[in-house]
């Protein structure tokens, strides 16, 4: 791979490990990020400073690098929701990539669901919300709903609403986080939620990772939807997981995703029905694709995505899991708001039994707030054990050793 140059769009903390894996695989790695001190620039061979969420900034900067510094062979979007920008970059410098129209649909939750529904893929009932009256009508019809921006990311602006909630607040909260000012709602489907990671090769989606999402704090942080990590592999029945893989393949076809990564959020209801909440045409954040899946399955997903993006062969045997280890990720949340005076216990936590990886980004002197979206955590720990319950217990034990003095 030494003669292949891969562009990684996204240089945040959650991309660092994947960037290092690409470099270790022999790629020349160029990273684009709007932060001139992006963590991902550290392991990279070259840095391009430009906003990855604004094509008018990103495309010219990358095109100039491609013309005058080093030709780019392919790109991946890693741990950031910017496939629409990646598609425009690919078109501008004439490398393989998603068609712009396909990528644009992938960052428009309403258009995505309309396409899936039209192709017979099960999704939760949904509707565009133009005003407060239509939102109240859906609460009356469905009882419990999720209100969200049509085109935001990281669960920003998302809340759960029922007849006891404040519909006006939920509408305004979602609209404020939508760049286009659009709001949608969908019926809340009770059931088990999954995070999935697939790589589409020659039009077939190979699903490598299926993780159970952990929503134990739904009541604590209501009406916000706060995920507290997850567990890999899923402990759902194998027949159910086979159906999930079939649905992901059909959904990828429906959305015209013929090559590259697909990140999935799905829910399985109490009758065993599989519903697609959202798909993303990129590699995930949260250390799922960069650490958890490689550790659990032995499949180096990021490097395979890089090879696929640069025109190299990726075979079914490359994508076949070689192990099935238990891995658990849990997040560190503040229990109150205020100034963080001191963080202690980090060494004891990181040295706890079964801890594979721990990151704490809490900084003394910062103002802590209770979480309102997936970006509200102060750190995370990843653990392993011979079984899921022990991995979970080890994660909690490590987190319990971290003391946050918030006043």
pLDDT digits (tens, 9 = 90+) for 52-81: 999 999 999 999 999 999 999 999 999 999
For residues 391 and 356, give the distance between their C-alpha atoms in angstroms, rounded to a whole number.
11
Query: Candidates 3.10.20.30, 3.40.630.10, 3.40.640.10, 3.30.470.20; correct CATH number of 190-313?
Result: 3.30.470.20
For residues 26 and 13, give the distance between their C-alpha atoms in angstroms, rounded to a whole number.
21
At residue 132, the pLDDT reads 96
Q: Is the Cβ–Cβ distance between 113 and 46 less than 8 Å?
A: no
At residue 260, the pLDDT reads 98
- Please state the rounded mean pLDDT for residues 115-137: 97
For residues 226 and 159, give the distance between their C-alpha atoms in angstroms, rounded to a whole number.
9
Beta strands in 281-337 (DSSP E): 326-332
Closest to 100 measured CA to CA, from 109, 89, 111, 110: 89
The token pair at 113 is 């669901």
Dihedral over Cα of 194, 178, 150, 271: its sign: positive
Identify the band that residue 402 occupies on the pLDDT scale cut at 50, 70 and 90: very high
Architecture of domain 328-406 in this structure: 2-Layer Sandwich (3.30)
> Which residues sit opposite 187 in a β-bridge?
145
At residue 154, the pLDDT reads 87
Burial of 22 (0-12, 13-18, 19+ CB in 10 A): buried
- Domain-wise residue ranges, the chain: 5-105, 125-187, 190-313, 328-406
Q: Does domain 5-105 have CATH number 3.40.50.20?
A: yes
125-187, CATH topology level: Dna Ligase; domain 1 (3.30.1490)
pLDDT above 60: residue 1:
no
At residue 324, the pLDDT reads 96
Average pLDDT, rounded, for the chain: 97
Do the two domains 190-313 and 328-406 of this chain adopt the same fold? yes
């Amino acid at each position: 791979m030494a003669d292949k140059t891969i562009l990684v769009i996204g240089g945040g903390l959650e991309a660092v490990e994947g960037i290092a894996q690409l470099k270790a695989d022999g790629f020349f790695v160029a990273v684009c990020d709007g932060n001139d001190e992006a963590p991902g620039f550290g392991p990279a061979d070259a840095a391009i400073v430009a906003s990855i969420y604004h094509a008018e900034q990103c495309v010219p900067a990358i095109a100039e690098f491609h013309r005058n510094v080093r030709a780019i062979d392919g790109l991946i979007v890693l741990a950031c929701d910017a496939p629409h920008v990646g598609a425009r970059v690919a078109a501008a410098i004439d490398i393989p990539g998603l068609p712009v129209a396909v990528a644009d649909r992938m960052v428009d939750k309403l258009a995505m669901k309309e396409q899936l529904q039209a192709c017979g893929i099960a999704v939760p009932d949904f509707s565009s919300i133009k005003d407060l009256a239509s939102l109240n009508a859906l609460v009356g019809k469905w009882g419990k709903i999720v209100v969200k921006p049509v085109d935001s990311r990281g669960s920003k602006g998302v809340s759960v609403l029922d007849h006891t909630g404040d519909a006006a607040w939920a509408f305004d909260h979602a609209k404020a986080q939508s760049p286009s000012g659009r709001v949608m709602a969908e019926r809340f489907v009770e059931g088990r939620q999954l995070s999935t990671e697939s790589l589409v090769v020659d039009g077939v989606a190979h699903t490598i990772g299926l993780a159970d999402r952990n929503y134990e704090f739904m009541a604590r942080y209501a009406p916000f939807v706060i995920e507290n990590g997850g567990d890999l592999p899923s402990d759902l029945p194998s027949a159910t997981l086979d159906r999930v893989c079939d649905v992901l393949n059909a959904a990828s076809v429906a959305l015209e995703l013929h090559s590259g990564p697909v990140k999935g959020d799905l829910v399985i209801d109490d009758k065993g029905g599989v519903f697609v909440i959202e798909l993303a045409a990129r590699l995930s954040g949260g250390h799922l694709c960069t650490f958890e899946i490689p550790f659990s399955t032995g499949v180096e997903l990021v490097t395979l995505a890089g090879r696929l993006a640069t025109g190299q062969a990726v075979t079914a045997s490359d994508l076949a899991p070689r192990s099935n280890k238990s891995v658990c990720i849990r997040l560190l949340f503040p229990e109150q708001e205020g100034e963080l005076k001191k963080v202690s216990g980090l060494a004891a936590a990181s040295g706890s039994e079964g801890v594979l990886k721990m990151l704490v980004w809490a900084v003394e002197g910062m103002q802590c707030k209770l979480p309102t979206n997936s970006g509200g955590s102060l750190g995370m720990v990843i653990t392993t054990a011979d079984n899921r319950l022990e991995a979970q217990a080890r994660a909690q034990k490590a987190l319990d050793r971290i003391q946050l003095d918030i006043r």
